[in-house]
Amino acid sequence: MFEIFGIPSTALFGQLLIGLINGSFYALLSLGLAVIFGMLNIINFAHGAQYMMGAFAAYLLLDWIGIGYWWALIVAPLLVGAVGVVIERTLLQWLYKLDHLYGLLLTFGLALIIEGLARNHYGSAGLPYTVPESLQGGRSLGFMFLPNYRAWVIAASLIVCLGTWFVIERTKLGSYLRAATENPVLVRAFGINVPLMITLTYGFGVALAAFAGVMAAPIYNVSPQMGSSLIIVVFAVVVIGGMGSIMGAIVTGFGLGVIEGLTKVFFPEASNTVVFIIMALVLLVRPAGLFGRRA
């Protein structure tokens, strides 16, 4: 045990770890927002609610039919993603011709509905979800104790984030996606089914949020309002990073999580607000965002 700037190392690294965990969720969610925004030109306000749906899906799968964490990690995002596809087909697709803001208002309404329904059924108190057996316990790294589950969350979200980046930036499918973002009419003229791509993109973005929700379930309790406070921070993350770049969203997400964690150690009063303060500073210095391109 040693001290850094008068702070015991275990406390410092502990908060750093929490920061990385939060950063994983920021990264996954802002990545989903960026992917959806790129294709649909809609800011998905329901993203937080869909993250919460992912956590609830995991809880209910276990509670109703005994499906455990590992299967839930696959099944819950698929289920919630399917709900996303239905939302896109029935509601969102009619809004593309209109101002972007209507998409924001619609998804805000959806978020209210989803959250309200969850609160009616399960109350505001959190429901516990236990860490899967294979990831219980942890190891001592000498300078700190690292719970296995938390290490897994950071690793898994890094893999998913980088995988998404790879698919979008380095594969043929991704190049179709990027082309359709730039000019959907032209891409359609080449015989590519752009509306289907848009639908699946929304489903994928929503599934990412649900995936984050499943991973969050054992760390935070499963509760109806777990998404709404998070999504506002993620909006700030998106403003800081700019939505033009996939890698930008990932880096900003993890980076801000770490900064938030460090703030908790050195200046706990500001830990809730530090992301917003950084957002204000970035707006002053680089209004387009750190990775954004000026429109």
Partner 1 sequence: MEQRIEATAPVASAKNGAKNGSRNWSEPLAFVIMVALLAIAPMAIYPMFVMQALCFALFACAFNLLIGYVGLLSFGHALYFGWASYLAAHSAKVWGFPPELAIATGTATACLLGIVAGSLAIRRQGIYFAMITLALAQMMFFFALQMKFTGGEDGIQAVPRGKLFGTIDLTDQTNMYITTVVIFLLGFLLIYRIIHSPFGEVLKAIRENEARAISLGYKTDRYKLMAFVLSATLAGLAGSTKAIVLQIASLTDVDWPMSGEVVLMALVGGLGTVFGPVAGAFIVVAMQNYLAQVGQWVTVIQGVIFVICVMAFRRGVIGEIAHYLKIKL
**Site for partner 1, rule CB under 8 A:** 37, 43, 91, 94-95, 98-102, 104-106, 108-117, 119-120, 228, 232-233, 235-236, 238-239, 269, 272-273, 275-277, 279-280, 283-284, 287-288, 295
Q: Is the Cβ–Cβ distance between 152 and 17 less than 8 Å?
A: no
Q: C-beta of 273: minimal distance to partner 1 in Å?
A: 5
For partner 1, the closer of residues 17 and 260 by Cβ is 260
Evaluate whether 46 touches 110 at the Cβ level (below 8 Å).
yes
Number of neighbouring beta carbons within 10 Å of residue 122: 16
Minimum CB distance to partner 1 smaller for 210 or for 240: 240
Distance of CA 278 to the CA centre of its chain: 19
294 token code pair: 């000026």
- Helices 148-170 and 9-40: crossing angle in degrees, nearest 10, is 30
d(CA 268, CA 265): 6
Residue (173 or 277) nearer to partner 1, CB = 277
**Shortest distance, position 31 Cβ to partner 1, whole Å:** 16
Least distance to partner 1 from the beta carbon of 281, Å? Answer: 10
Nearer to partner 1, 73 or 118 (CB): 118
The span from the CA of 37 to the CA of 133, in Å, is 37
Compute the least distance from the CB of residue 292 to partner 1, in Å. 9
